[in-house]
Structure 1
Amino acid sequence: MNQGYRITVVDDDRTMRESLSHLLESAGFEVVCLSRPENVLACIQKQDADVLLCDVRMPGMSGTELQMQLKGQTNVPIVLMSAHGDIPMAVSAIQNGAYSFLEKPFDPRRLIKLLENASQLRRLTRNADRLKTRLAELSGLDRVMIGNAPSIKALRAEIVDLSTTDVNVMLLGETGTGKELVAKALHDLGHRSGEPFVPLNCAAVPVTRFEEMLFGTAENGPGLLAQAEGGTLFLDELGAIPLEVQAKLLRVIETKQYTPIDTSKTINADIRILSAAHERLEDMMKEGTFREDLYFRLNTIMLTMPPLRARRDDITTLYMHYLDVFAATYETETPTLTSGDVARLLAYDWPGNVRELRNVCERHVLAARRGAGSVDSALNDNRDSLEAPETLREAVAAFERQLIGKALARHQGRMDDVATGLGIGRRTLNEKIVKLGLDKETILNS
């Protein structure tokens, strides 16, 4: 259980050093013993000690004097011990920063438990310090878009350039690539940073309430346009905006004005609109479900978010970063990646992109906290939840894909029979097969 915890023991009594070394090594600790306190700092730095266990009364320098000397130079927990201890001495040691104070002779089991707890605290502190140091070295954008792939470097540069403008930007990318994070970065780096950033997942809003939520009503008060005044409105899942609302949104962009529902009051709109989509809106324009004029108004500039599988060199870096983040969140040690873990990370396609990677990291840390856990087990545990659709549009598409796939298999690919069985026309069936990305041959041969 204590394998790997490193203890530095300082005691001028040889018999005590040998006794402590035998006890602690038998319990799984790594132990370095010193007879004099003068070179303790260099030793604990070289050993990367987790705990300093030190006698109070030693010739030349006492344990309490050593404690005061080390104060501010290391955050290694210090446990003081003495055969001549008393309550005032113990209180003074704790007040001066000692982790604990033990009076000799002490219960070996108590000592081992105390050192376990102190070592765990040291590891947690070290992990937190490492994360703080890394974040301090990163600029604001580096924290949002972690990685060194050329596509990510280029994206960071474009974000910096665009943040100084008010141009409408459309973000294209798969689910989980970080479109909202980029939109927030564009807002935070620009002159509107002190004003509201209002995100809206269009696919999560009922069609019947969309107009009311966006424009507000006389009865229910201001909508999201009013909330975003002076700042940025981010429209995610753009293709889910109802066609009749698209026309009104276009007018807001063109005139910089809007009128709440059931009122005659015209309100000026000083808003930057950022948008995102993961489906190809060109197909929706051909079908007549998305306005071409609105599309071109919103995508003055288009940024494409690279999928994680296209930046494999960043996968391990991202995974290690989020392991540290979740280890700090759950107050546990950061799991160590094996060569097998790294190979599994790089072999996986990450269909859920960075969002999926974060989920897998969190599962890995939670499992490791229970004494188990690997990339492979975290991926296997995560697969079912990742396959669940996140929005109504995705849920409907998943249901249609499954229903049509079963019908194709049942009717052995006879399209007229499939269409009849589903209660739709042959043309509609063909359009859905194309739109849903179904491969008829793969289905029939599976």
Structure 2
Amino acid sequence: MTGYRILVIEDDRLMRNSLVDLIEAAGWIAKPLARATDAQRWITQFEPDAILSDVRMPEMSGLELLRTLPAEPPIVLISAHGDIPTAVEAMNHGAYSFIEKPFDPKRLLLVLSHAAEQHKMRQNNQRLKARLRQLSGLDRVLLGQTAQMHMLRDTVVMVAGSDAAILIHGETGTGKDLVARAIHDLSPRCDGPYIAVNAAQINVEQLPHIARCAAGGTLFLDEICACPIDMQPMLLRLIEAGEIFGSGQGLPETTDLRIISATNENSVAAVAVGSLRADLLYRLNGFTIDLPPLRERRDDITLLAVRFLQEFATLYETEPPELTDEDLAALIAHDWPGNVRELRNLTERRVMTARHGLGSMQDVLSDANRNQLERSGLREAVAAFERQIISKAIQAHGGRMDDTADALGIGRRTLNEKIVKLGLDKEALL
């Protein structure tokens, strides 16, 4: 096995040579430097696994070096003038360890080996993540170069290896199904089935069939907060024990599957109004992933628009239309309530109009904005009316939800869903 690579920074020649001899005797590779000001250049060229540096040196001290370098590779500081405040300062600024001279050679080598091994493990982990992304095409599926998207891709790789239940939060159009599918494709269950269903539309009879179909793979439950209340005990049993009852309600069937769920609603609020069981939510969110809306990663908008334009141009056998400065300004200024799905739809319309030599991205976006305003105006009016009627009914019946639902002529579950969607605070109304 190749030995560790240690960058040694020590202004005293005798001590520097002694440290190099010690490191090379351990079978490692040492690169000696007399000045800390040369460290950055040699980190790039030598690629050390750890840095061993004296504290007190001319031009730049070990503590100053510590403040100027990134977190990797790890730095071990040594000093003949060790004291508690210096050691505390060193550790607060990210030093891996602080050792006083004269030091025990075996202890120094042990500390350096631990630091170097940690560095190698982090490098291997990063390479593995990059390789997994390359193999799965994750960068092509979850498009974007903003910090949020880099973090999202890393999270997908991290959770894919476990069998924990995952709850994905995200607005409409943010790609919840894409994320769920990516997790499945990177998981040990990738050769098994991936079954996606709308949790709001399944019933007791359908669930055993769905569970059988998803056996050995992944079951993706979208709109989990709208799941019928009578279905939720069965889902809870499926997650906890891997059991599902058939229509005859005899002995339960056992099945092996992973559940990933998603919602564009506030799951905690859904529990508060009784439309989602608290124990079910606890089981569903073994790990939670929050997807960023497009308006919070505007630096990705141009990249996405260009990618979608090229994709649809290939589909419609035409050249992708160019984006003018005015187009780009309009795209960046738009609020994107429909997120990436909305952007994808708009780019398709732009390619279709460009085939006939018509329009611009600005025109397509302006038409969409007008239609959105018309739709949102009607929605807001209906929502305001519903909010007023439901609020009065809750007050009239003293907060008794069954009586309120009966008076409004709707089911209890429908009432709960409307309370969540309209953002009503039942306690504040009473």
Corresponding position of 1:214: 207
Partner Cα separation in structure 1 for residue 290 and residue 380 of structure 2:
26
- Is 1:296 the counterpart of 2:282? The answer is yes
The 5-angstrom pairing of residues 31-50 of structure 1 reads: none
Corresponding position of 2:382: 403
Q: Are the equivalent residues in 2 in contact too, given 1:250–1:294 (CA < 8 A)?
A: yes
Q: Which secondary structure state, in structure 2, belongs to the residue aligned with residue 244 of structure 1?
A: coil
Q: Which secondary structure state, in structure 1, belongs to the residue aligned with residue 230 of structure 2?
A: helix
Give, in angstroms, the shift of residue 202 of structure 1.
Answer: 2.0
Question: Residue 188 of structure 2: which of 172, 175, 191 is its match?
Answer: 191
Corresponding position of 1:169: 166
CA deviations 1:196-244 (Å, max 9, x no partner) are 00001223x1xxx5212212xxxxxxx1111100000000100111111
Partner Cα separation in structure 2 for residue 144 and residue 196 of structure 1:
19
Partner Cα separation in structure 1 for residue 373 and residue 210 of structure 2:
31
Q: Which secondary structure state, in structure 1, belongs to the residue aligned with residue 289 of structure 2?
A: strand
The 5-angstrom pairing of residues 206-245 of structure 1 reads: 210-215=203-208, 223-245=209-231
Give, in angstroms, the shift of residue 419 of structure 1.
Answer: 3.5
Question: Residue 357 of structure 1: which of 338, 343, 346 is its match?
Answer: 343
Identical pairs, percent: 42
Letter in 2 for 1:143: R
TM-score (norm 2): 0.59
Corresponding position of 2:142: 145
Letter in 2 for 1:255: A
Partner Cα separation in structure 2 for residue 163 and residue 295 of structure 1:
20
Partner Cα separation in structure 2 for residue 138 and residue 312 of structure 1:
27
Partner Cα separation in structure 2 for residue 385 and residue 236 of structure 1:
27
Letter in 2 for 1:403: V
Question: Residue 179 of structure 2: which of 163, 176, 182 is its match?
Answer: 182
In structure 2, relative to structure 1, the CA distance for the partners of 1:293 and 1:317 (3 Å cut) is same
Q: Are the equivalent residues in 2 in contact too, given 1:352–1:386 (CA < 8 A)?
A: no
Q: Are the equivalent residues in 1 in contact too, given 2:327–2:361 (CA < 8 A)?
A: yes
- Is 1:273 the counterpart of 2:259? The answer is yes
Give, in angstroms, the shift of residue 257 of structure 1.
Answer: 1.3
Q: Are the equivalent residues in 2 in contact too, given 1:170–1:301 (CA < 8 A)?
A: yes
In structure 2, relative to structure 1, the CA distance for the partners of 1:407 and 1:314 (3 Å cut) is closer
In structure 2, relative to structure 1, the CA distance for the partners of 1:228 and 1:145 (3 Å cut) is same
Partner Cα separation in structure 2 for residue 335 and residue 326 of structure 1:
10
Q: Are the equivalent residues in 1 in contact too, given 2:136–2:185 (CA < 8 A)?
A: no
CA deviations 1:17-71 (Å, max 9, x no partner) are xxxxxxxxxxxxxxxxxxxxxxxxxxxxxxxxxxxxxxxxxxxxxxxxxxxxxxx
Give, in angstroms, the shift of residue 405 of structure 1.
Answer: 2.3
- Is 1:381 the counterpart of 2:367? The answer is yes
- Is 1:419 the counterpart of 2:416? The answer is no
Q: Are the equivalent residues in 1 in contact too, given 2:214–2:257 (CA < 8 A)?
A: yes
Corresponding position of 1:315: 301
Question: Residue 237 of structure 2: which of 251, 267, 292 is its match?
Answer: 251
Q: Cα RMSD between the aligned structures? A: 3.4
Q: Are the equivalent residues in 2 in contact too, given 1:401–1:436 (CA < 8 A)?
A: no
Which deviates the most, 324-333 or 263-272? Answer: 263-272
Q: How many residue pairs were aligned?
A: 279
In structure 2, relative to structure 1, the CA distance for the partners of 1:267 and 1:387 (3 Å cut) is farther
Which deviates the most, 252-261 or 270-279? Answer: 252-261
CA deviations 1:94-114 (Å, max 9, x no partner) are xxxxxxxxxxxxxxxxxxxxx
The 5-angstrom pairing of residues 19-38 of structure 1 reads: none
Which deviates the most, 424-433 or 180-189? Answer: 424-433
Q: Which secondary structure state, in structure 2, belongs to the residue aligned with residue 210 of structure 1?
A: coil
In structure 2, relative to structure 1, the CA distance for the partners of 1:416 and 1:201 (3 Å cut) is closer
Letter in 2 for 1:260: G
Give, in angstroms, the shift of residue 404 of structure 1.
Answer: 4.8
Q: Which secondary structure state, in structure 1, belongs to the residue aligned with residue 260 of structure 2?
A: strand
Partner Cα separation in structure 1 for residue 338 and residue 244 of structure 2:
37
Partner Cα separation in structure 1 for residue 243 and residue 391 of structure 2:
49
Give, in angstroms, the shift of residue 266 of structure 1.
Answer: 2.5
Partner Cα separation in structure 1 for residue 294 and residue 196 of structure 2:
23
Question: Can you give the 5+ residue segments of structure 1 that lack an aligned partner in the other structure?
Answer: 1-135, 216-222, 390-396, 409-414, 439-446
